[in-house]
Amino acid sequence: MLTTASVPDRDKVAYWNDAVSRTLVPMTVAPRGDGPFDGRITTRRVGYLQVSTMEADAKRVSRTPALIARSSEALVAVGVQISGTATFVQDGRRAEVGEGDLVVYDTDRPYSFDYPRRFATHVFQLPRHALGVPDSDIRQVTGNAIGTGNGFGAMLRPFLATLASSPADGYPPALADRLAGNVVDLFATLVAERAHPGGTDADGRSHLMPRVRDFINRNLGDPELSPERIARAHRISVRYLHRLFEGEGITVGQLIRQRRLEECGRELARRGRTAPTVSAVAQRWGFVNPAHFSRSFRAAYGVSPREWRDRRTGHGTEREGADLPPSSG
């Protein structure tokens, strides 16, 4: 716990500014009262989830572009107003936050909180990529107060209050990681519910899936193409990427392999004065291991890449000793 209780009055504001910036994210703090400032903040980790509880006198906190540039990681935060009120501003929206309300905010974009009197709040922070929802959904939710009188918020609030009041060493590491994953899933559900009221996140998926497929098609030749790279490029988690494909009848890895094999088959079947070598085609479409490519091709098309090429181009089955190992088919 960090507190201003034992700090000289003249240093309290500077101390508090540093304490909040180190515990949460860099921000500026401007007290609203004239007397000595009083504040305390406790923080702990549950897996990759950081849980903090802050109680302080009236103040205004701001997260500016200059401060954002000093941060190394983009975070999403969920605040739970325990007592007092706040005015929250982000993405051009202004929300009046009352006791019990939730707010979602993105630390990678400017925001401010104005607390007119003493207050207390829980703050849950997690890496934005771990949330696994599109940025467009997060932007629809920020700058709004989410009531907890009914609906999903009513279920979420007591759970978060219990989690915030649990002892710092209350969970062994394996259980803490699992618990963090469950909390993140609840936050993702909260964002989806608010971004797509009355339904699911199908609209977000319908916009995202074409972009993901286009990205895969444009990068098939890159041997480093992977679910991790695809998720990173679209600023979603790998977990959410796999969730997108649950209704597609194919996994991400299977789609990449299928599309690569299709392009290889198309190129090998192209007629020309010179038949392309199998190894050159395989490498051009992201296969780094010729034997693995040959096995995958045979499994998909029932013949070896050479047989496929020769049957469709009319070329003979000349020996390509430097092309593929004899055992690859």
pLDDT of residue 327: 32
pLDDT of residue 317: 44
What contacts 125, CB < 8 A, 6 or more positions away? Answer: 24, 25, 49, 50, 52, 75, 76, 77, 107
Residue with tokens 């707010």: 103
Question: Please, which pLDDT band fits residue 207 given cuts at 50, 70 and 90?
Answer: low
Domain ranges of the chain: 2-195, 204-328
User: Which residues lie across from 79 on neighbouring strands?
Assistant: 103, 123
What CATH number does the domain located at 204-328 have? 1.10.10.60
pLDDT of residue 77: 94
pLDDT of residue 318: 42
- Comparing 276 with 190, the larger pLDDT belongs to 190
Query: Cα-atom radius of gyration of the chain, to the nearest Å?
Result: 27
Contact 276/305 with Cβ under 8 angstroms? no
Section 182-196 average pLDDT: 83
Question: Please, which pLDDT band fits residue 55 given cuts at 50, 70 and 90?
Answer: very high
Q: Is the pLDDT of residue 26 over 90?
A: yes
What is the distance between the alpha carbons of residues 3 and 15, in angstroms, rounded to a whole number?
9
CA 128 to chain centre: 4
User: Which residues lie across from 97 on neighbouring strands?
Assistant: 86
pLDDT of residue 6: 94
pLDDT of residue 328: 34
- Long-range Cβ contact pairs of 295-301 (< 8 A, separation 24 or more): 295/328, 295/329, 296/257, 296/261, 297/261, 297/264, 297/265, 298/329, 300/258, 300/261, 301/261, 301/265
Continuous H helices in the chain: 12-23, 65-68, 128-131, 135-141, 151-165, 173-195, 202-218, 227-233, 238-244, 252-268, 278-284, 290-301, 305-313
Query: Among residues of the chain, what percentage have pLDDT more than 90?
Result: 50
User: Which residues lie across from 122 on neighbouring strands?
Assistant: 53, 80
Q: What is the pLDDT of residues 228-273, one digit of tens each?
A: 999 888 777 788 788 888 877 789 999 999 999 999 998 888 876 6
Section 97-126 average pLDDT: 95
Q: What is the pLDDT of residues 299-324, one digit of tens each?
A: 999 999 999 888 877 655 443 333 33
Section 117-128 average pLDDT: 94
Which of 301, 261, 309 lies closest to 285 in space, CA to CA? 261
Task: Quote the CATH superfamily of domain 2-195.
Answer: Jelly Rolls (2.60.120.10)
Section 123-148 average pLDDT: 86
Question: Please, which pLDDT band fits residue 168 given cuts at 50, 70 and 90?
Answer: low
Section 148-159 average pLDDT: 83
Residues in the chain: 329
Question: Please, which pLDDT band fits residue 148 given cuts at 50, 70 and 90?
Answer: confident
What contacts 116, CB < 8 A, 6 or more positions away? Answer: 32, 58, 84, 85, 87
pLDDT of residue 4: 95
